[in-house]
Structure 1
Amino acid sequence: DDSTKRRCVSTACIACRKRKSKCDGNTPACAACASVYNTPCHYDISTDRRRKGVWKKDIDSEQTKNSTLQTLIEAILNYPEDDVATLVRDIRTCESLDDVAESIMQKEKETEEAEEEELAAFNAAASSSTPTFETQLSGRMGELQLTEGSTRYIGGTSHLIHLNVEGEQEDPYDMVSSAGASEGFASPSHEDPVTSWTRVTKDPELIMHLLNMYFTWHYTYFVTLSKALFYRDFFQGKPPSGRRPYCSPLLVNAMLALGCHFTSRQGGRENKEDSATAGDHFFKEAKRLIMENDEHETPRVTTVQAFALMSVREAGCGREAKGWVYSGMAFRMALDLGLNLDSGTLTTRQGSDLVDEEEDLRRITFWGCFLFDKCWSNYLGRLPQLPTGIVTVPKFDVFPSEDAEIWAAYTDSGFSQAHAQPSRVRAVSLQISRLCEISSDIMLSFYNPIDYERVKGKQAELKKLSEIYQRLEAWKRELPKELEPREGGLPSMLVMHMFFQLHFIHLFRPFLKYNESSSPLPSNVSPRKICTQAAATISKLLRLYKRSHGLRQICNIAVYIAHSACTIHLLNLPEKNARRDIIHGVKHLEEIAEGWLCARRTLCILSLLARKWRVDLPEEAATVLARTDAKFGPSYQESIQARPPNQQPQHHQHQPQPQHHQHQHQRLGPSHLAAAAAAAPQPLHHIAPSASGFPVAADFPANRPAAPSYSASASASTAAAAAAAAARRGSETTSLPPDSAAALGMARAQRRAASGPSDLFGGVDALLRESTDWWLRDQSQLAAGFDNWDMGECDAAAWAEGL
Structure 2
Amino acid sequence: MWAGGLQCLIRHPSPGVHPPRQAPEPPEPPSDHEDSLPKKRKLTNACVACKNAKEKCSGEQPCTACVRKARDCVFNPEDDQRRRIPLRRRIDELEEEQRLFLRILRTLRHRSHVVDGLLDYIKKEKPDLATIRRYMDQHLPPHEFRKTPELLRIYQDVERFQDPIPKRGNQALNIAQLCDYPPFLGMARPWTTLTDDNGFVSHLISLFFTWQQAFCNWIDQDLFFRDMNAGNVNCTFCSPILVNAILAVACLYSDYPEAWAEPGNTDSLGQHFFTEAERLIDAEEGKITFATAQGIAVLYTCLSAMGKDRQGWTYLSRAVHAVEYLRSTSDELFRTADVPRDVMAGALDYLEIGLFGATVACTLCLQKEPIMKPPKGLQLPIHQGDDGTWSPYPRQMDPVPAAHRHCALNYRARLAEIATDVCEALFSNGRKPPRPDLEEVVTRAYSQLTIWMHDLPGCLHCDDHSVPEILSLHQYYHSIIMVSFAFLRTRAPQDDETTEKSIESAREKCISSAHIVSDLVNIHRNQWGIERVALFDIQFISVALYNLLDDLRDEKSHAAFRNLAKAMMVHIPRWKMARGMFRLIQIAMTQLRAYQPPDIVEIFRTFEQGFWRPEDWNSFSSAYPNFSIAIRQDKGASEEVDMDRILAHWDGLTLTSDTGSELSGG
Q: TM-score, normalized by length of structure 2?
A: 0.63
Aligned residues: 458
- The whole-number CA distance in structure 2 between the counterparts of 1:289 and 1:507 is 40
- The residue number in structure 1 matching 2:215 is 221
**1:613 and 2:592 correspond:** yes
Matched residue type, 2:369: L
Q: Within 5 Å, which residues of 2 pair with 1:737-776? A: none
**Structure 2 alignment gaps of length 5 or more:** 1-159, 168-185, 639-660
Task: Confirm or deny that 1:382 pairs with 2:368.
Answer: yes
Confirm or deny that 1:255 pairs with 2:224.
no
> How has the CA–CA distance of structure 1 residues 399 and 229 changed in structure 2, closer, same or farther, with 3 Å as cutoff?
farther
* Of 369, 394, 412, the match for 2:355: 369
Query: Does the CA-based 8 Å contact 1:552-1:595 persist in structure 2?
Result: no
Question: Partners in 2 of 1:323 and 1:491 — Cα distance?
Answer: 25
On the 8 A contact 2:215/2:536 being kept in 1, the answer is no
Cα shift at 1:512: 1.8
Judged with a 3 Å threshold, the aligned counterparts in structure 2 of structure 1 residues 233 and 464 are, in CA distance, closer, same or farther, namely same
Partner of 1:360: 346
Contact kept, 8 Å, 1:307 with 1:327, in 2: the verdict is: yes
Q: Secondary structure at the match of 2:393?
A: strand
Q: 1:408 to 1:498 in 2, by over 3 A?
A: same
Shift of the 606–244 alpha-carbon distance from structure 1 to 2, 3 Å rule, reads same
Equivalent residue for 2:310, pick from 299, 314, 321: 321
Q: Find the counterpart in structure 2 of residue 503 from structure 1.
A: 480
Amino acid in the other structure paired with 1:225? I
**Structure 1 residues 364 and 519: alpha-carbon distance in aligned structure 2, compared to 1, 3 A threshold:** farther
The answer as to whether partners of 1:612 and 1:705 remain within 8 angstroms in 2 is: no
- Residue aligning to 1:544: 523
How far apart in 2 are the matches of 1:642 and 1:468? 33
Q: Distance in 1 between matches of 2:347 and 2:589?
A: 47
Distance of 1:559 and 1:591 partners within structure 2:
11
* 1:655-670 equivalent positions in 2, closer than 5 A: none
Indicate conservation of the 8 Å contact 2:261/2:269, yes or no: yes
SS in 2 for 1:282: helix
Q: Is the 8 A contact 1:374 1:440 kept in 2?
A: yes
Mapped contact 2:597–2:664 kept (Cα < 8 A): no
Q: 1:396 to 1:271 in 2, by over 3 A?
A: same
1:638 aligns with 2:638: no
SS of match in other structure, 2:346: helix
> What is the SS of the residue equivalent to 1:476?
helix
The alpha-carbon deviation at position 382 of structure 1 amounts to 0.8
Structure 1 residues 502-546: Cα deviation after superposition (integer angstroms, max 9, x where no partner): 111122122123488455696697111111111111111111111
Q: CA contact under 8 A between 1:583 and 1:618: conserved in structure 2? A: no
Correspondence 1:166-205 to 2 at 5 A: 193-205=187-199
Deviation at 1:400, TM superposition (A): 2.3
Matched AA of 2:305: G
Q: Distance in 1 between matches of 2:405 and 2:455?
A: 18
Question: Structure 1 counterpart of 2:308, which letter?
Answer: R
Contact 1:511 1:519 in 2 (8 A): no
- How far does residue 699 in structure 1 lie from its aligned partner after superposition? 3.9
SS of equivalent to 1:337: helix
Residue 546 of structure 2: aligned partner: 567
Give runs of aligned pairs for residues 380-529 of structure 1, distance below 5 A: 380-388=366-374, 391-392=375-376, 394-398=378-382, 400-403=384-387, 405-411=388-394, 413=395, 415-417=396-398, 420-449=400-429, 452=432, 458=436, 460-514=437-491, 517=496, 526-529=505-508
Aligned Cα RMSD in Å?
A: 3.4
Compared CA separation, residues 487 and 734, structure 1 to 2 (3 A) = same
Which whole-Å deviations, capped at 9, do the CAs of 1:403-447 have from their partners, x for residues lacking one?
A: 2x1112211x5x421x61233222212111111111101111233
Question: 1-side partners of 2:559 and 2:430: how far apart?
Answer: 39
Aligned counterparts, 1:566-715, within 5 A? 566-634=545-613, 637-640=615-618, 689-690=623-624, 693-699=625-631
Q: CA deviation at 1:615?
A: 3.1
Report how far residue 474 of structure 1 moved.
Answer: 0.6
Query: In structure 1, what residue type is equivalent to 2:262?
Result: N
How much has 1:484 moved relative to structure 2?
1.8
Secondary structure at 1:447 match in 2: helix
Q: Per the alignment, do residues 520 and 468 of structure 1 end up closer, same or farther by CA in structure 2, a change over 3 Å counting?
A: farther
Q: CA deviation at 1:324?
A: 0.4
Paired residue type of 2:344 = E
What are the Cα deviations for residues 336-357 of structure 1, in whole angstroms up to 9, with x where unaligned? 1126x9x69x99899x997111
Match of 2:200 in 1: 206
Deviates more, 1:301-310 or 1:485-494: 485-494
- 1:298 match: 287
Classify 1:523/1:367 alpha carbon distance in 2 versus 1 (closer, same or farther; 3 Å). closer
2:491–2:632: 8 Å Cα contact kept in structure 1?
Answer: no
* Contact 2:364–2:480 (CA under 8 A) maintained in structure 1: no
Aligned-partner SS, 1:554: coil
8 Å Cα contact 2:390/2:400 also seen in 1:
yes
User: Which residue identity does 1:222 align to in structure 2?
Assistant: C
1:438–1:471: 8 Å Cα contact kept in structure 2? yes
Distance change in 2, residues 1:281/1:442 (3 Å): same
Q: CA deviation at 1:227?
A: 0.9
The 1:517–1:274 alpha-carbon spacing in structure 2 relative to 1, beyond 3 Å, is same
Question: Does the aligned pair in 1 maintain the 2:353–2:378 contact within 8 Å?
Answer: no
CA displacement at 1:611 relative to structure 2 = 3.2
Percent same amino acid among aligned pairs?
19
Q: From the CA coordinates, give the structure whose radius of gyration is larger.
A: 1
Q: For 1:455-514, what per-residue CA distance to the aligned partner results, in whole angstroms no more than 9, with x for missing partners?
A: 57x3x5444333211110011111122322222211011011111001111221221234
Q: How far 1:583 moved relative to its partner?
A: 1.5
Q: Is the 8 A contact 2:403 2:469 kept in 1?
A: no
Q: 1:243 to 1:553 in 2, by over 3 A?
A: farther
Offset of residue 274 of structure 1: 2.8
Q: Secondary structure at the match of 2:327?
A: coil
| Contact 1:556–1:596, Cα closer than 8 Å, also in 2 | no
- Check conservation: 1:379, 1:694, Cα contact below 8 A: no
Q: Deviations over 1:768-791 (max 9, x none)?
A: xxxxxxxxxxxxxxxxxxxxxxxx
Q: Any conservation in 1 of the 2:490–2:632 contact (CA below 8 Å)? A: no
Seen in structure 2, the aligned counterparts of structure 1 residues 732 and 373 have a Cα distance that, compared at 3 Å, is closer
Q: Cα–Cα, structure 1 residues 510 and 696, in superposed 2: closer, same or farther, change >3 Å?
A: closer
Residues 364 and 347 (structure 1 numbering): CA distance in 2 closer, same or farther, change over 3 Å? Answer: closer
Conserved 8 A contact 1:308-1:372: no
CA distance in 2, matches of 1:596, 1:328: 23
Distance 1:732 1:217, change over 3 A: closer
Q: Distance in 2 between matches of 1:422 and 1:349?
A: 33
Residue matched to 1:136: none
Distance 1:563 1:311 in 2: 19
Distance in 2 between residues matched to 1:445 and 1:629, nearest whole Å: 37
Q: Compared with structure 1, are the counterparts of its residues 603 and 467 closer, same or farther at alpha carbon in structure 2 (3 Å cutoff)?
A: closer
Query: 1:196-222: per-residue Cα shift (whole Å, max 9, x none)?
Result: 211111111010011111111111322
1:259 alignment partner AA: A
- Give 1:638 shift: 3.0
> Aligned equivalents of 2:380 and 2:297: distance in 1?
18
